[in-house]
Amino acid sequence: MSVELVNVTKVFTDHDNKDKEFTAVNNVNIKILDGEMVTFLGPSGCGKTTTLRIISGFENQTAGDVFIGGELVNDLPANKRDTSMVFQSYAIFPHLSVRQNIGFGLELKGMKKNVIKEETDKIMETMGLTTLGNRQPSQLSGGQQQRVALARAIVNKPKVLLFDEPLSNLDAKLREHMRTEIRRIQKQFGITSIYVTHDQSEAMTVSDRIMVMDKGVIQQIGTPFEIYSRPQNYFVADFIGRANFIEADVTEIGAESITVAVDGTDRNYPSWQKDLKKGDKAYIVIRPEGLKLSSDKTAHTFFSAAVSQAVYLGATMEYELSVEGRDKPVVAVSHNPIQEGFYKEGDRVSVSFDPVSAHIIPR
């Protein structure tokens, strides 16, 4: 079932000072398609949880409309919206067994005992909980508890699943495992899902599309590829992953490429933010893995640099490079250091990159 927000705004008023207002969500517009999984991503306080709570009905918007399955739900209370929320604190009942926890919602609905058993068995099998049915929550690991919470949400067959930072209480390894699990189950059931996180790699793993927010405002909505490789603006490029920003000026815009000049030298790039016009100030955004290092001084280079830090991480080698005339160091990552060679602190290197790895944004 689709979920649509039209011009949704939330203004909080300070309890002690009624004149003081704070806009937590500012004119948000998004349509989430049936069966799609969309993540709201952004720094703490950007308004992602408030937006989710507005969809669930736990919070009322100040202005704008919320549609679920094409139906206007502004005046529908949370329990009538056919959404189900999975929280970071699992909110499973400590005094009920796993099986009772999962079947709880079905019992509330007054379903027959044998149907409840059937439905509960099915979901427990899908979620790998079959052998844990009689355990109490206190006898479960964090990951198992989270799986019970998820099973309990899914067994009710909600039209929309809402996830509020569901994995933030788990350790790193379990988080990685659970996010692929959540994605697998979401796809299997085809449930429209909205997921809130401040963890980028979690967002990249679980999402069809990501909505990046800052200060209540949408910065970009796009696939993980678009968000990472084709950021709309400086905020998105800087917030998602790591990026190097090279100051440039737009000298020409063609059908297939943009020409920008760095220190007076023109070069063409195939990918750019389409609001840019000739004469605009721009940044070339280049991710650390897009940079190629070489010790060959005669190689075609973008700039030459000195290695100021070299960190070996096993799978990758990370470099911090200092470039004359630049205050900020340039960051480069080699994903195959054994083949590409190791550089050590103090080495001089030539730095180049393929224009396809770069993206041009407004400055």
Ligand X SMILES: Nc1ncnc2c1ncn2[C@@H]1O[C@H](COP(=O)(O)OP(=O)(O)OP(=O)(O)O)[C@@H](O)[C@H]1O
What are the Cα distances from residue 8, in Å, to 18, 60, 66, 218? 22, 10, 8, 11
C-alpha Rg value of the chain to the nearest Å: 25
- Which neighbouring-strand residues pair with 304? 350
Measured from the CB atom, the residue of 44 and 339 that comes closer to ligand X is 44
Q: How far is the CB of 30 from ligand X (least distance, A)?
A: 15
Q: Which of 167, 169, 191 is nearest to 178 (CA)?
A: 167
Do residues 167 and 88 touch, judged by C-beta distance below 8 A? Answer: yes
* Position closest to ligand X via CB: 49
DSSP state of 179: H
Do residues 57 and 254 touch, judged by C-beta distance below 8 A? Answer: no
Measured from the CB atom, the residue of 48 and 179 that comes closer to ligand X is 48
Q: Which of 36, 40, 35, 8 is nearest to 24 (CA)?
A: 8
Q: Is 162 in the site for ligand X (CB under 6 A)?
A: no
Single residue of 1, 5, 24, 55 touching ligand X by CB under 6 A: 24
Measured from the CB atom, the residue of 12 and 189 that comes closer to ligand X is 12
Q: How far is the CB of 216 from ligand X (least distance, A)?
A: 7
Single residue of 2, 12, 208, 271 touching ligand X by CB under 6 A: 12
Measured from the CB atom, the residue of 44 and 138 that comes closer to ligand X is 44
Contacting ligand X within 48-107 (CB under 6 A): 48-50
Rounded Cα distance between 304 and 82, Å, is 59
Measured from the CB atom, the residue of 42 and 290 that comes closer to ligand X is 42
Q: Which structure tokens are listed for 96?
A: 């009920």
Measured from the CB atom, the residue of 198 and 230 that comes closer to ligand X is 198
Measured from the CB atom, the residue of 45 and 105 that comes closer to ligand X is 45
What are the Cα distances from residue 347, in Å, to 96, 219, 252, 319, 342? 63, 39, 36, 11, 10
Alpha helices, DSSP H only, in 36-97? 48-56
- Quick note: the x/- pattern for ligand X over 182-211, rule CB under 6 A, is ----------------x-------------
- Quick note: the x/- pattern for ligand X over 28-57, rule CB under 6 A, is --------------x-xxxxxxx-------
Applying CB under 6 A, the site for ligand X has a residue count of 12
Element containing residue 107 per DSSP (H, E): helix 98-108
Q: How far is the CB of 37 from ligand X (least distance, A)?
A: 18
In the complex, the residues that contact ligand X under the rule CB under 6 A are: 12, 22, 24, 42, 44-50, 198
